[in-house]
Amino acid sequence: MQHWLFKSEPATFSIDDLATATGKSTCWDGVRNYQVRNFMRDVMQPGDLGFFYHSSCAVPGITGIVSITSNAYTDNTQFDPGHVHYDADSKPESPRWLMVDVKLKRKLKRIITLDELREHHHRLKELLILKRGNRLSVTPLSSDEWNYILGLE
C-alpha cells in the first residue's frame, strides 16, 4: 500500500465537500502536472490511503484521511472548453490528463497544522510539503511519515 498527501484549497474543494459528495466518493480532477499524473497512472492503486490537506487558507493543515477507490482514468474536463481545467492541446484520442476517485475515510480529530508539521521537521525532513517551492497537489509519503503524522493526531 502506498500513502499520499492530497492538497486542495478549501474554497475550491474542502474535506466537507468530500464528506457530502454523492456516494461519498468523487474524482480528483484538474491535475495538470506530469509528475502527479504519472503517480496516478503508474503507482496509485485502489485501497491506497492519503491525507487530505487544506492549503492556501487561514490554517493550512491535514484535515482527514481518504482512500483511493479507482485506478487512474481520463479526466474529461481537459476536453471541455467551458471548464476551468480545459487543455486545448489535449486530444481525446491521446488524453494528457488523468484522475482517480477518492473517498473520505474519516476526518481527523483535529487539524494537524502546517506549523506543527514544521515543528516536527527533524522526523519529517523528507516530507515534500515542507520543501521550498513544492506546489504539487498530490505527493507520496513514506510509511514512516504516514505513521508519524497519524501519531500526531
What per-residue confidence (pLDDT) applies to 149?
96
Between residues 134 and 112, the one the model is more confident about: 112
Mean pLDDT of the 56-83 span: 97
Domain coordinates in residue numbering, the chain = 3-146
Kind and range of the H or E element at 7?
strand 3-8
DSSP 83: S
Confidence of residue 125 (pLDDT cuts 50, 70, 90): confident
23 vs 5, more confident: 5
- In tens, the pLDDT along 17-28 reads 999 987 778 999
User: 3-class DSSP state for residue 66?
Assistant: strand
CATH class of segment(s) 3-146: alpha beta
Residue for grid cell 521550498: 132
Checking if the pLDDT of 52 tops 90, the result is yes
Q: Are strands 49-54 and 61-68 parallel, antiparallel or unpaired?
A: antiparallel
Q: For residues 66 and 46, is the Cβ–Cβ distance under 8 A?
A: no
